[in-house]
Amino acid sequence: MKGRLILAAVVIPLGIIIAAVPENTTKPYKLTAEELLSEVKEGTQFMTPDAVAQLMVEKDPSLQLIDVRSSHEFEKFSLPGAINIPLENLLSAEYEDILNQDVKVNVFYSNSSNVANQAWMITRQLGYQNNYVLEGGLNYWAETIMNPQKPAATSPNEEMARYNFRQGASAALGGASVEQAAAPESKAAAVPAVKAQKKKKSVQGGC
């Protein structure tokens, strides 16, 4: 009898408090500022336009281009196969499965790298993996892939190879046509591998 009164005196006030306070729905950041800074310094989030173009030409199913500009800009021009997630909608629940996954390589792009980098930084701090940023954004993309400049005849072979690859990619992806320059086979640009994600499910239990 007395025990029940003590129990009630403890749990009812606690229950009233917890009923009165708002629920804590904040999502914790998974990376510390230092960890993020070191990743930013190394620039591991960047994918060069060549690497992205390579995946696009090969029609690699693991590539997912994500346009983080406004939907208005997205409708005017977007890269083939890209989906539109405007930066302000980045945290909406409908996109969580796209951003937090371990089967695709997500590449954010905007006009320059700035907005895409912001998107990457937010998702990275939430602990999401496999998100990257198109280096230089659409501006640099147009410069390098869509309208590659023919290197000087004295340029090293790698330069020529890169030019050839860009020309091919440009033709395949609908850029301006440019004349061919003789050079050896191009080497494949470095493409990051998809990192498997540890399933964040706690252990089951029972009575």
Partner 1 sequence: MGPLVANEIISPDTNLFLAFLIGIGFGFVLESNGFSSSRRLAGMFYGYDTTVLKVFFTAAITGMLGLLFMSLFGWIDLSLIYINPTYLWSAIGGGVIMGVGFILGGYCPGTSFCAASIGKLDALAFIGGIFLGVLLFTEAYPLWENFFNAKYLGSPLLSSVLGLSRGVMTLLIILVALGMFWVGEWAEKRFARDDYKLNQK
Site of interaction with partner 1 (CB under 8 A): 1, 4, 7-8, 11-12, 14-16, 18-21, 23-24, 26-28, 30, 198, 200-207
Of 29 and 77, nearer to partner 1 (C-beta) is 29
The answer to whether 110 and 137 are in contact (CB under 8 A) is: yes
Nearest to 149 by CA among 166, 171, 137: 166
Angle at 168 between CA 162 and CA 170, to 5 degrees: 100
Of 98 and 142, nearer to partner 1 (C-beta) is 98
Q: Give min distance, CB of 11 to partner 1, in A.
A: 5
Of 152 and 207, nearer to partner 1 (C-beta) is 207
Q: Give min distance, CB of 24 to partner 1, in A.
A: 5
Q: Give min distance, CB of 31 to partner 1, in A.
A: 12
d(CA 53, CA 164): 13
Q: What is the CA radius of gyration of the chain?
A: 24
The answer to whether 178 and 170 are in contact (CB under 8 A) is: yes
Q: Give min distance, CB of 89 to partner 1, in A.
A: 20
- Torsion sign across C-alpha atoms 102, 70, 51, 55: positive
Of 25 and 154, nearer to partner 1 (C-beta) is 25
